[in-house]
């Protein structure tokens, strides 16, 4: 097991050369990473909720953060809630087509939202992951405050980003008060593909209301 973990971490930290980061708008790209409101640097040490309903681009936006993490040699875990109502949103061929190095990505399928949170805690406690994605998708999920508190503590202790994907409208309450940043990600078609707009509904650091446009051309499944 220890040898398998070392082999995985070596692959994850060596995947930077193959990773492709989705291009951000020009102004955003010119800013130092620490000043950008969206991106791995802005999400470290935080519990983040990425949600939308309708013309949603949550999956594309989350994949963009995965690509950024892999470009920086950060190991990433993606944990999906799989229940009787949903088969999950993560589709490996689409992720690979977007540039994700699947050999450097841990994918976990958990039977419930609570199990997703427990799995995330175990992975974060190892200190090996720079990004953990909790993919609740269309599942009806209620993450207890105790779990949220531990996720925040572990994210801060290990300088990791914890991103929760949920499906809900912007007037629906967030997962809880410990969510530091909640964003809505929507897509609009353009002449050369589509554009993703990330809008802050809640941001304890910068305040809500900011938006960032991401030009993207994803595969059919995204």
pLDDT digits (tens, 9 = 90+) for 103-124: 999 999 988 888 899 999 999 9
Which two three-digit tokens encode residue 68? 């950024």
pTM for this one?
A: 0.83
CA distance 149 to 175: 12
36 neighbors 64 (Cβ within 8 angstroms): no
Q: Which of 67, 10, 15 is nearest to 39 (CA)?
A: 67
Output 83 or 196, whichever has higher pLDDT.
196
Residue-range domain boundaries for the chain: 2-216
CATH superfamily assigned to domain 2-216:
P-loop containing nucleotide triphosphate hydrolases (3.40.50.300)
- In the sheet that 47-52 helps form, which strands lie side by side, from edge to edge? 105-110, 76-81, 131-137, 161-167, 47-52, 181-190, 193-203, 211-216
3-state class percentages of the chain: helix first, strand second, coil last, to nearest 5: 35, 30, 35
The sign of the CA dihedral 64, 53, 90, 160 is: positive
- Please report the pLDDT score of residue 6 as a whole number: 61
Output 2 or 115, whichever has higher pLDDT.
115
């Amino acid at each position: 097991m220890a040898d398998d973990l070392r082999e995985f971490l070596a692959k994850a930290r060596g995947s930077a050369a193959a990773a492709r980061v989705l291009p951000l708008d020009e102004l955003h790209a010119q800013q130092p990473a620490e000043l950008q409101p969206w991106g791995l640097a802005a999400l470290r040490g935080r519990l983040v909720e990425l949600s939308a309903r309708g013309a949603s681009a949550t999956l594309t936006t989350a994949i963009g953060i995965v690509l950024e993490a892999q470009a920086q040699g950060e190991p990433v875990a993606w944990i999906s809630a799989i229940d009787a109502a949903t088969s999950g949103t993560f589709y490996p061929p689409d992720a690979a087509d977007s540039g994700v190095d699947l050999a450097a990505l841990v994918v976990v399928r958990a039977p419930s939202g609570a199990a997703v949170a427990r799995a995330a805690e175990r992975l974060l406690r190892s200190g090996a992951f720079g990004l953990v994605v909790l993919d609740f998708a269309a599942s009806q999920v209620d993450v207890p405050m105790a779990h949220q508190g531990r996720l925040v503590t572990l994210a801060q202790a290990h300088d990791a980003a914890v991103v929760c994907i949920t499906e809900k409208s912007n007037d629906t309450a967030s997962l809880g008060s410990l969510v530091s940043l909640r964003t809505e990600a929507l897509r609009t078609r353009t002449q050369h593909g589509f554009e993703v707009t990330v809008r802050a509904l809640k941001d304890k650091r910068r305040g809500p209301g900011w938006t960032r446009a991401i030009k993207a051309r994803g595969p059919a499944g995204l």
